[in-house]
């Protein structure tokens, strides 16, 4: 029985001494590389280029290994910021030594570039991307200055954001439930470990928005907001610095829009992203339709923001970590033995850190690490059914990263748009497995939870994209009240009159890490959600075992290719055209279909109740 799991970082470094020896060797290799090739790349014979780019890749992978190690240490314990800063500065200096390689390659004559690409076919897409992005590159001296100052620029504000939020603790509203509450639910709550703590983490306070008692949800929202507002000046300043940094980069590099850099790295066109945003925004009505049904099911006349994730079950059911793992492993095993085997190995070999802890980073992620090691998954498991889906989500990322590492360091990472495919697909596998094992009464809360997850991944992320577009549209510094107003307006567009946003909710933009770490990241979730719904619909349409096996093989190959091909080329293998206006509607139709199934379940229950 697995009660919890923790990382084993020995796959990266077994000791601090080994890390220091590795750093010395890495510095030496980078200096030798620069001495051999800087200013001389054009003199290298095309047939020798493969050996040069392999050497370059090894140096970058070395940097990646070091930064993975210290990043994971910092994520586990935010008091280790000094260690992270030390190695970030050193690896930045090493990276500066080899920075010339990509810039010089882009300045080679076209015929020379073509010959180099032909001699190194496995790096063809990587090199072609460099050429496409060259118009936004600066001189080598300028790029070195930007890289050297990045740890004390916006990167420093990103670290400050993480450290500040990870140090926050919140009063536990569950521990303050009235002592005279003798309900079976209250007795169960008092026995849980979480309820015994007087203070809890960000992850734990947010999990209480899923509590079955409305007064607990309301109090959790109030407590969380109160602490956020105390930090509002700092968090506003950090976001303003991110905005200013992006504005400076846009001016220096010549991007058309503040978001253009993200589309370039995602290998997405502005047209396709605009179409995605338009299609999703035009279907906001689905959100309102769902929440009006939910209000009736809960017996609440006017839902408030703290009711968004209220469970439909009459009692709060907890899912232990071991039981959650069994569910996820079964879902993966029903689809692919290889998927289940990777997840099982991860649990046995220390790839997963599972539970909240003091100074531990909130949320969840899967870090791809480096090809010569393995991915690492961070969870903050709190025994909710939603957390089971989080495990599936992050394990989906992990499987994608483990499969794609065969492509090597330069090709293993995928654009954000396809990076979310495996994670959301894994959630759908879990949903599909649970559907088959539950009664009709149990299906209603399952569907509700899944629809809410889809709304969070699909509609809410586009709401966040609208928010970012508006705050980055001006170069003026914005006040906290400006952020509040824009946040409220964009969320009201999504919910319509189905849900009332309280005054407290206005400041909830403060804690969202993507606004700070990865501006304009959010639409990638929506992109991935619609792509997955289209793919999953295609998978379920395969009626014979042979056809299903063909799909699974094709899907596994798609994941294994990582970032070695463009998203457009990868997805075309399934017969989809990302540039087509109709593509986004395929996934949206699947959302409408799921909402219709939910309504049918509710209507059937109402009919049965009326008959009784």
Q: What is the CATH number of the domain that holds 65?
A: 1.20.140.70
Q: How long, in residues, is the chain?
A: 612
Give the mean model confidence (pLDDT) for residues 369-392: 95
Dmax (CA) for the chain in angstroms is 86
Question: Does residue 128 belong to any structural domain of this protein?
Answer: yes
d(CA 563, CA 125): 8
pLDDT in tens, 146-198: 999 988 889 899 999 999 998 899 999 987 664 445 444 444 444 455 556 88
Q: pTM of the prediction?
A: 0.86
What domain count does the chain have?
Answer: 1
Three-state DSSP string of 334-372? HHCHHHHHHHHHHHHCCCEECCCCCCCCCCCEEECCCCC
Question: Does residue 36 belong to any structural domain of this protein?
Answer: yes
Question: Distance between alpha carbon 572 and the CA centroid of its chain, in Å?
Answer: 24
Question: Does residue 130 belong to any structural domain of this protein?
Answer: yes
54 is in which domain, residue-wise? 9-149
pLDDT value at residue 175: 75
Question: Does residue 98 belong to any structural domain of this protein?
Answer: yes
pLDDT in tens, 122-137: 999 999 999 999 999 9
Question: Does residue 156 belong to any structural domain of this protein?
Answer: no
Please check whether residue 594 is in contact with residue 444, taking contact to mean a CB–CB distance below 8 angstroms.
Answer: no
pLDDT value at residue 313: 79
pLDDT in tens, 531-578: 999 999 999 999 999 999 999 999 999 999 999 999 989 999 999 988
Question: Does residue 32 belong to any structural domain of this protein?
Answer: yes
Tokens 């338009």 belong to residue: 278
d(CA 66, CA 57): 14
Give the mean model confidence (pLDDT) for residues 136-145: 94
Q: What share of the chain is helix, strand, coil (3-state, %, to 5)?
A: 70, 0, 25
Question: Does residue 396 belong to any structural domain of this protein?
Answer: no
d(CA 453, CA 389): 9
Q: β-pairing, 199-200 with 365-367?
A: unpaired
Confidence label for 315 from pLDDT (cuts 50, 70 and 90): low
Residue 211 structure tokens: 């509590």
Question: Does residue 295 belong to any structural domain of this protein?
Answer: no
Closest CA to 8 of 91, 62, 73: 73
pLDDT value at residue 385: 85
pLDDT in tens, 219-247: 999 999 999 999 999 999 999 999 999 99
């Amino acid at each position: 029985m697995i009660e919890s799991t923790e990382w084993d970082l020995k796959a990266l470094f077994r000791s601090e001494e080994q890390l220091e020896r590795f750093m010395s060797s890495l510095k030496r290799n980078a200096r030798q590389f620069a001495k051999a090739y800087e200013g001389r790349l054009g003199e290298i014979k095309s047939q020798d280029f493969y050996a040069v780019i392999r050497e370059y890749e090894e140096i970058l992978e070395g940097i990646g290994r070091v930064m993975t190690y210290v990043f994971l240490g910092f994520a586990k314990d935010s008091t280790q910021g000094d260690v992270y800063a030390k190695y970030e500065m050193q690896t930045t200096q090493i990276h500066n030594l080899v920075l010339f390689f990509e810039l010089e390659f882009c300045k080679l004559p076209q015929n020379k570039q073509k010959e180099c690409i032909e001699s190194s076919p496995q790096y063809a897409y990587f090199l072609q991307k460099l050429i496409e992005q060259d118009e936004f590159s600066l001189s080598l001296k300028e790029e070195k200055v930007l890289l050297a100052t990045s740890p004390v620029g916006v990167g420093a504000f990103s670290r400050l954001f993480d450290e500040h939020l990870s140090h926050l603790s919140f009063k536990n509203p569950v521990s303050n439930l009235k002592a005279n509450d003798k309900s079976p639910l209250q007795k169960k709550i008092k026995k849980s470990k979480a309820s015994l703590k007087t203070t809890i983490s960000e992850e734990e306070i947010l999990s209480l928005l899923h509590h079955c008692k409305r007064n607990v949800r309301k109090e959790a929202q109030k407590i969380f907001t109160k602490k956020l507002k105390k930090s509002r000046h700092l968090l506003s300043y950090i976001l303003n610095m991110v905005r200013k940094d992006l504005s400076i980069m846009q001016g220096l590099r010549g991007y058309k829009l503040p978001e253009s850099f993200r589309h370039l790295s995602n290998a997405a066109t502005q047209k396709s992203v605009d179409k995605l945003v338009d299609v999703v925004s035009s279907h906001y009505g689905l959100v309102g339709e769902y929440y009006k049904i939910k209000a009736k099911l809960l017996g609440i006349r006017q839902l408030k923001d703290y009711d968004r994730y209220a469970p439909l079950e009459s009692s709060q059911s907890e899912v232990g970590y071991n039981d959650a793992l069994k569910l996820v492993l079964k879902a993966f095993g029903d689809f692919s033995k290889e998927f289940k085997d990777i997840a099982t190995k991860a649990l046995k070999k220390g790839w997963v850190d599972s539970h909240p802890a003091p100074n531990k980073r909130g949320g969840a992620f899967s870090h791809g690490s480096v090809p010569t090691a393995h991915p690492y998954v961070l969870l903050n498991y709190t025994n909710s059914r939603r957390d089971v889906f989080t495990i599936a989500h992050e394990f989906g990322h992990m499987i994608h990263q483990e499969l794609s590492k065969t492509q090597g360091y330069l090709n293993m990472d995928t654009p954000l748009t396809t990076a979310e495919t495996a994670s959301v697909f894994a959630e759908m596998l879990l949903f599909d497995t649970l559907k088959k094992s539950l009664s009709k009464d149990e299906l209603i809360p399952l569907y509700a939870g899944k629809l809410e997850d889809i709304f969070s991944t699909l509609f809410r992320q586009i709401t966040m994209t609208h928010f970012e577009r508006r705050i980055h549209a001006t170069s003026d510094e914005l006040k906290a009240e400006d952020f509040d107003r824009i946040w409220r307006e964009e969320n009201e567009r999504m919910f319509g009159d189905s849900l009332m946003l309280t005054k407290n909710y206005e400041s909830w933009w403060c804690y969202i890490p993507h606004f700070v770490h990865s501006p304009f990241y959010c639409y990638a979730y929506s992109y991935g959600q619609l792509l997955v719904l289209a793919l999953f619909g295609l998978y379920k349409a395969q009626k014979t075992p042979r056809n299903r096996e063909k799909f699974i093989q094709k899907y596994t190959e798609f994941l294994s290719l990582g970032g070695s091909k463009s998203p457009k080329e990868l997805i075309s293998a399934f017969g989809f055209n990302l540039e087509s206006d109709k593509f986004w509607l395929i996934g949206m139709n699947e959302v409408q279909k799921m909402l219709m199934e939910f309504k049918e379940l509710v209507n059937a229950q109402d009919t049965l109740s009326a008959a009784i």
